[in-house]
Amino acid sequence: MRLRWPRNTRRAWAGLGAFALLVGIGTVGLAVADDAPTVRRVDRVLTMPEEPGSERTVGIDTSYFVAESADGGAPRPAVLLGHGFGGSKDDTREQAEALAADGYAVLTWSARGFGASTGQIGLNDPDREVADVSRLVDWLGERAEVAQDGPGDPRVGIAGASYGGAIALLAAGHDDRVDAIAPAVTYWDLGEALFPNGVFKQLWAGILFTTGAAAPIGGELPAEAGVDPGCGRFTDELCALYQRVAVAGASDPEALALLAERSPAAVADRIDVPTLILQGQHDSLFPLDHADAMAEALRANGAPVRVEWLWAGHDGGISESGRTEERITAWFDRHLREDASADVGPPFRVTRITGFDTTNGDTLLAGASGDAYPGLDGEKTGTVELSGEPQTFVNPPGGAPAAVSTVPGLGGLGGFTGLGFLPAIDFPGQFARFDSPPLTEATRVTGSPTVRLRVSSDTDEAVLFGKLYDVAPDGGSESLPAQLVAPLRVEDLGPEGRVVTFRLPTVDYPFEAGHRMRLVVSSTDIGYASPAGTARYTVALDDLRLTLPTAPGVATAATPVPWWVWGLPLGALAVAVALVAPRVRRRAAVSHDPGLAGTPLAITGLTKRYARHSDRYAVRDLSFRVERGQVLGLLGPNGAGKTTTLRMLMGLITPDAGEITVFGHRVGPGSPVLSRVGAFVEGAGFLPHLSGRANLELYWRATGRPAADARLEEALEIADLGPALARPVRTYSQGMRQRLAIAQAMLGLPDLLILDEPTNGLDPPQIRAMREVMVRYAEGGRTVIVSSHLLAEVEQTCTHLVVMDGGRLVASGPVAEIVGTGDTVLVSTAEPMTDAWLATIRALPGVGDATDTESGVLVRLDGAGPETLVAALVAAGIPVSGVMPHRRLEDAFLTLIGGA
Amino acid sequence: MTTSPADQREPAVDPFPPAAPGYVPRRTLPLRVEAVRQLRRRRTLVVGLLLALLPPLVAVAFAVGGAPDDSESALLDSATASGPNFAAVCLYLSAGFLLVVPVALFCGDTVASEAGWSSLRYLLAAPVPRWRLLTAKLLVALAFSAVAMVLLPLSALGVGTVAYGWGELRLPTGGTLPGGEAALRLALALAAIFVGQLVTAALAFWLSTVTDAPLGAVGGAIGLTILGSILDAITALGDWRQLIPAHWLFAWLDALQRDVEWNGMLRGGAVSLAYALLLVALAYRHFARKDIVS
């Protein structure tokens, strides 16, 4: 997996040309959901005079969107949506449908010379394009479903981006019937946009002109008479203007006058409707100062104005169209529909980048808002001192090579301009440079920094480009905020030069503490025309202070955390509690039978089925008791259910039925009374990496009981491991583990000791010792349970017996009782036994009975000892070859379990 | 073994006490004891060594093969800029998979390894209450995981500072942070990684109560984590991917943005925590009444 750093700057320019439509591109949003009303669209071509009073007409291609409303078509406000330069009414279709679904009558149109509309491009000529909009308003004034303020005066708002934003402003200025507007990324003064501070914005101008002159994609130029292929759809007047200034590389008064007349600035004093201004931070065509001029003029007219600095502009950037469309809708809800609850947003909002989304590399935008629009000079101003000697640099002949800041349409070369990775390019000898010391604290510049410079030139004039770089502490990386550059033409410098105030690009940019600011003044920029002749400029700081506007009142709102960030864990917690709680409650049920308090073990009706065989029983209806001081043998063949019983006794397995009480306390998982039980069941269980001693010590510490109660040394004596105690258990033999495990079971001298097959793997002397240990353990009033399938073991150590087979109890009681009283010996003879000899034996004194069996004569002694019997037999002349004690229990055992 | 009457401790008051003297359920299996039991295991040492030795290895690799020059990732690019940068890069290199392993190992091993050694039944019969056993084991396993996670960046910070000097952290999104704050940010990133790994921990823990094979639990947890990463790569799942814990695997990089971006870390943490709660609850529920046959 690779980290993908943000790189999805949307190419605003792509395809359509320079006046790209940023607001309104490609969002359907949630507005057109399934339950949205059906929107009907009607396309019409409206015929309009080419100019007021003209005989000739143009056809304006329109689309009209109205939703079928539930209230039977009550009058609704109307919205006109304008498109960008090079676009058509199709660009705004989705926004139109969304607005229509929200209850507006929406009319979109292709401006003259664009889309399917005929006519020539007049750059929003008041007599042409603006007049067209008035006629569209006329048309709306005749619609029954459109709310009317008066006869022929519909309630109407206009929104649009770029070219369409300008027409919104212009229409509001020229036509009093317009009630609210929302212009986006547009110009206030077209002359100022194309000739900022008297410098020709050559590259942008060229792109615009080409876009308008070229045939629309997939279409042809109108075959009207007198169309000059070099001018395309432009009016002759505009075509001539462009050709003139492009050759001159500079404006002329005539051109400026024409552009001024077609700009919203021309009707500045007549735009007084509520206006939502959306301007892009990454916009070298219509930079933020156009929005500023707009806001200032409209506010002077008393119009409600809100300003937003979007992230994206004509240079590209990340589109926020979904959010801005919502805001535009809210704006119209408030000012057209007069819905007081509509949230029109803060008076000033600026989009900032807070970082990026680590899961997909998307850039994260957040809005910072303020209670007032701070303007270009900010709410407050700070200063930072620059240093640098006066520097002289040249304007190269022909203006090439040119420094690079923004290349229009390439979105700042596709780089991540906001956080500054892409250095702009300045050519040596063509710029002057002034650095600040490292900033002592982080400074966010919101507005347009200014600096006073003394400029002189050997040509009496200078064309300069100002940039304010952010220089990282390592000195290596310098970044140009928003990739913007400010041009300035200074004339009449005279021999001494002149002091000028240089207004740098308007940005919203955080300079980190420790970073430097670097002012670069260069003689060229790729976007602009600079003088063709060689020139030598000298630039010096007239005032060391660089003025920095800031807006501390504009704060970034925390990105809202979705509800599930809290909801999900809380929900999971609730489910978790529900999952665990019933078990806890069941555990709390403890039963106690005081009557059995003195009984080490009482088992009643114990039943356990095998986990996967509900019809097969591991233990079935088992009941027995063990009293204090007993050594109980639990005897049975393999599979008799002994171990299962012992596991239930240890609380490891839960019985299906019946109960086990130890000293009167019912045993379940983890019952405290188990602390009085020591157990060794089915082999040892140790941590192989720890020594035998550490295992026992840690086991005891795990019980949480006082260390002194452990009797560790006594237990270790039983284990008899010697120096091996210090070795890891994994090195132990089977017998050593066995002994250690039995020692562990005896830790703390439990009242009930359970040993499962304790002598397995022990050698004979150890077996004998173990038997002694068990017997002695019980002598102290404690109780021992020994399970075994070996008869000898239980026979020699146990006082009582429980015999199990097939999960059932076969017999229980004292050993003698089960086996029967009296001693029996097996007498073998050298010759086959005869009936006579048998009779003789039976007649011997002290003999109870004698039975002939295959292996010999079974003699039950009744008073006589074996030695007496042998003497008597020899005396009677019977050839005795052997006398041995009979394996009484084995017989009993086999009989009891009905076996072989 | 000798038992004389004097040895017998028959309490004077209650001749038949409900538990042995000094036995208190909630004092069983103290955390310290459980930690000691696990600490000297070879796998603990191996994991520790692995994580401590990775940064020097990476540093050697950079020294031999040259510092990374990756135009895709500014973070990797700046690996040799300073100690904090090196630590961030080591975290970045290991967060995807390496750090999952100790967590899955420590948590997946908890109950299953005791079952494997047969020591589980003796602990439970001691008796250590089952909830207590799970709690102690989970807490100790989480603590071990946390230590393992801290070990790596700490070692990286040390190695990086020795090799490249102490300095500011060059952020992947541009800009820098002074060294002191960078260390804090790394700590925050580490905390975010830890919370993000809780889901793996809980999954391994639950599996550990289900199976008696420790490797099954560890492998299962790692396997499901990988599965999550694969699912997350299917972009067609859209917003549903937010519910996949692996979706937030790198949310901790939010701590290394110029301004800490809490949203991603909070979301990732919420998803991880939610799953972890459910899985741990399942573990407790399952283990509470489970028949111990190991």
Domain that holds residue B143: 29-288
Residue A499 shares a structural domain with residue A545: yes
Poorest-pLDDT segment among A41-45, A587-591, A822-826: A587-591
A673 touching B (Cβ < 8 Å):
yes
Identify whether the C-beta of residue B292 lies closer than 8 Å to the C-beta of residue A653.
Answer: yes
**A523: CATH:** 2.60.120.260
Statement: residue A264 has pLDDT above 80? yes
Residue A2 CA to residue B249 CA, distance in Å, equals 12
Asked whether residue A751 is domain-assigned, the answer is yes
Residue A501 shares a structural domain with residue A649: no
* Cα dihedral: A810, A816, A821, A823 (round 10): 110
Helices (H), A310-443: 321-335
- In sequence order, which residues have a C-beta less than 8 Å from that of residue A540 and are 6 or more positions away? A389, A390, A391, A453, A454
Predicted TM-score (pTM) of the model is 0.72
A778 touching B (Cβ < 8 Å):
no
Distance from CA of A294 to the nearest CA of B (A): 33
Contact between A653 and B293 using a beta-carbon 8 Å cutoff:
yes
Contact between A663 and B16 using a beta-carbon 8 Å cutoff:
yes
Integer angstrom CA distances of residue A846 from A820, A850, A873, A877: 18, 12, 12, 18
Q: What percent of chain A is predicted at pLDDT more than 90?
A: 50
Identify whether the C-beta of residue A264 lies closer than 8 Å to the C-beta of residue A175.
Answer: no
Chain B contacts of A785, Cβ < 8 Å? Answer: none
Question: What φ, ψ does residue A253 adopt, rounded to 5°?
Answer: -55, -35
Distance from CA of B114 to the nearest CA of A (A): 8
Taking CA–CA distances from A745, the nearest residue in chain B reads B122
pLDDT digits (tens, 9 = 90+) for A475-516: 667 888 888 999 999 988 888 889 999 999 999 998 988 889
Contact between A359 and B250 using a beta-carbon 8 Å cutoff:
yes
Contact between A704 and B22 using a beta-carbon 8 Å cutoff:
yes
For residue B143, which amino acid is it?
A: A
Tokens of A288: 């933020």
B147-164 burial by CB neighbour count: b if 16+ within 10 A, else e? bbbebbbbbbbbbbbebb
Residue B81 CA to residue A293 CA, distance in Å, equals 46
- In sequence order, which residues have a C-beta less than 8 Å from that of residue A508 and are 6 or more positions away? A281, A309, A350, A352, A368, A444, A445, A446
Residue A447 CA to residue A834 CA, distance in Å, equals 131
* Dihedral-angle region of residue A119 (phi above 0 means left; psi in -120 to 50 means alpha; beta otherwise): left
Chain A contacts of B18, Cβ < 8 Å? Answer: 592, 663, 665, 672-673
Contact between A706 and B27 using a beta-carbon 8 Å cutoff:
no
Taking CB atoms and an 8 Å cut-off, how many pairs form between chains A and B?
286
Identify whether the C-beta of residue A521 lies closer than 8 Å to the C-beta of residue A453.
Answer: yes
Catalogue the E-assigned strands of chain B. 169-170, 176-177
Contact between B33 and A698 using a beta-carbon 8 Å cutoff:
yes
Identify whether the C-beta of residue A733 lies closer than 8 Å to the C-beta of residue A690.
Answer: no
Asked whether residue A617 is domain-assigned, the answer is yes
Residue A862 CA to residue A865 CA, distance in Å, equals 8
**Considering CB atoms only, which of A572, A587, A675 is closest to B127?**
A675
pLDDT digits (tens, 9 = 90+) for A293-306: 999 999 999 999 99
Residue A827 shares a structural domain with residue A854: yes
Integer angstrom CA distances of residue A228 from A127, A245, A254: 22, 18, 22
Statement: residue A322 has pLDDT above 50? yes
Asked whether residue A371 is domain-assigned, the answer is no
B64 touching A (Cβ < 8 Å):
no
Residue of higher predicted confidence among A616 and A173: A173
Asked whether residue B12 is domain-assigned, the answer is no
**Considering CB atoms only, which of B75, B128, B254 is closest to A355?**
B254
Instruction: Residue window 421-460, chain A: list those with CB within 8 Å of chain B.
Output: 421
Contact between A5 and B2 using a beta-carbon 8 Å cutoff:
no
Closest residue by Cα to residue A420 from B171, B70, B262, B92: B171
A731 touching B (Cβ < 8 Å):
no
Asked whether residue A31 is domain-assigned, the answer is no
Residue of higher predicted confidence among B83 and A357: B83
Contact between B2 and A689 using a beta-carbon 8 Å cutoff:
no
Chain B contacts of A2, Cβ < 8 Å? Answer: 72-73
Asked whether residue B265 is domain-assigned, the answer is yes
Asked whether residue B7 is domain-assigned, the answer is no
- Span A733-739, mean pLDDT? 90
Contact between A780 and B3 using a beta-carbon 8 Å cutoff:
yes
Distance from CA of B124 to the nearest CA of A (A): 6
Tokens of A12: 């605003």
Distance from CA of B174 to the nearest CA of A (A): 6
Determine the 3-state secondary structure of B282 from DSSP. helix
- Span A862-889, mean pLDDT? 78
With tokens 């079971």, the residue in question is A745
Distance from CA of B17 to the nearest CA of A (A): 8
A743 touching B (Cβ < 8 Å):
no
Which residue among A766, A782, A817 closes a domain? A817
Residue A658 shares a structural domain with residue A510: no
Q: What is the structure's pLDDT at B201?
A: 96
Chain A contacts of B281, Cβ < 8 Å? Answer: 575-577, 579-580
Identify whether the C-beta of residue A281 lies closer than 8 Å to the C-beta of residue A508.
Answer: yes
pLDDT digits (tens, 9 = 90+) for A757-795: 888 878 888 888 888 888 888 887 899 999 988 776 777
Q: What is the structure's pLDDT at A70?
A: 60
A575 touching B (Cβ < 8 Å):
yes
Residue A166 shares a structural domain with residue A121: yes
Statement: residue A177 has pLDDT above 80? yes
Asked whether residue A356 is domain-assigned, the answer is no
Statement: residue A610 has pLDDT above 60? yes
pLDDT digits (tens, 9 = 90+) for B18-34: 888 889 988 999 999 99
**Considering CB atoms only, which of A419, A709, A744 is closest to B173?**
A419
Chain A contacts of B132, Cβ < 8 Å? Answer: 670
Residue A645 shares a structural domain with residue A754: yes
Asked whether residue B82 is domain-assigned, the answer is yes
Contact between B281 and A364 using a beta-carbon 8 Å cutoff:
no
- Spell out the long-range contacts of A734-740 with Cβ–Cβ below 8 A and sequence spacing 24 or more: A734/A761, A735/A761, A735/A762, A735/A763, A735/A766, A736/A692, A737/A683, A737/A684, A737/A686, A738/A683, A738/A684, A738/A762, A739/A766, A740/A684, A740/A686, A740/A692, A740/A695, A740/A696
Chain B contacts of A571, Cβ < 8 Å? Answer: 274
Chain A contacts of B263, Cβ < 8 Å? Answer: 364, 559, 561
For residue A757, which amino acid is it?
A: E
- In sequence order, which residues have a C-beta less than 8 Å from that of residue A260 and are 6 or more positions away? A189, A190, A191, A266
Contact between B21 and A709 using a beta-carbon 8 Å cutoff:
yes
Asked whether residue B134 is domain-assigned, the answer is yes
Identify whether the C-beta of residue A434 lies closer than 8 Å to the C-beta of residue A519.
Answer: yes
Q: What is the structure's pLDDT at B186?
A: 93
Indicate the pairing of strand A57-67 with strand A431-435. Answer: unpaired
SS (H, E, C) A34-91: CCCCCEEEEEEEEEEECCCCCCCEEEEEEEEEEECCCCCCCCECEEEEECCCCCCHHH
Residue A881: band (very low, low, confident or very high) from pLDDT cuts 50, 70, 90: confident
Residue A601 shares a structural domain with residue A536: no
B11 touching A (Cβ < 8 Å):
no
Q: What is the structure's pLDDT at B8?
A: 47
Residue B111 CA to residue B137 CA, distance in Å, equals 8
**Considering CB atoms only, which of A514, A569, A699 is closest to B274?**
A569
Q: What is the structure's pLDDT at A879?
A: 86
Residue A241 shares a structural domain with residue A115: yes
Closest residue by Cα to residue A641 from A807, A512, A516: A807
Chain B contacts of A512, Cβ < 8 Å? Answer: 175-176, 258
Residue A813 shares a structural domain with residue A825: no
pLDDT digits (tens, 9 = 90+) for A675-713: 999 999 988 999 999 999 999 999 999 999 999 999 999
Instruction: Residue window 66-95, chain B: list those with CB within 8 Å of chain A.
Output: 72-75, 81, 92
Chain B contacts of A575, Cβ < 8 Å? Answer: 277-278, 281
B97 touching A (Cβ < 8 Å):
no
Domain that holds residue A184: 39-345
User: Can you say whether the dihedral through the CA atoms of B240, B244, B245, B251 is positive or negative?
Assistant: negative
With tokens 């899985």, the residue in question is B279
Q: Which residue of A577, A591, A652 is the best one to mutate when testing the B interface, meaning the one whose CB has the most B CBs within 10 A?
A: A652
Asked whether residue A11 is domain-assigned, the answer is no
Residue A429 CA to residue A396 CA, distance in Å, equals 9
Identify whether the C-beta of residue B145 lies closer than 8 Å to the C-beta of residue B103.
Answer: yes
- Show the low-confidence residues of chain B (pLDDT under 70): 1-16, 69-74, 173-174
Which residue among A817, A840, A855 closes a domain? A817
Q: What is the total count of domains within chain B?
A: 1
Q: What is the total count of domains within chain A?
A: 4
Look up residue A225 and give its DSSP letter: T
Chain A contacts of B125, Cβ < 8 Å? Answer: 650-652, 674, 677, 679
Asked whether residue B278 is domain-assigned, the answer is yes
Statement: residue A202 has pLDDT above 70? yes
Residue A233 shares a structural domain with residue A286: yes
Indicate the pairing of strand A275-282 with strand A178-184. Answer: parallel
Residue A818 CA to residue A800 CA, distance in Å, equals 9
Residue A315 shares a structural domain with residue A431: no
Identify whether the C-beta of residue A100 lies closer than 8 Å to the C-beta of residue A67.
Answer: yes
Residue A409 shares a structural domain with residue A529: yes
Chain A contacts of B126, Cβ < 8 Å? Answer: 674-675, 699, 702-703
- Span A149-161, mean pLDDT? 94
Residue of higher predicted confidence among A875 and A181: A181
Which residue among A772, A793, A817 closes a domain? A817
Integer angstrom CA distances of residue A883 from A790, A830, A852: 23, 12, 14
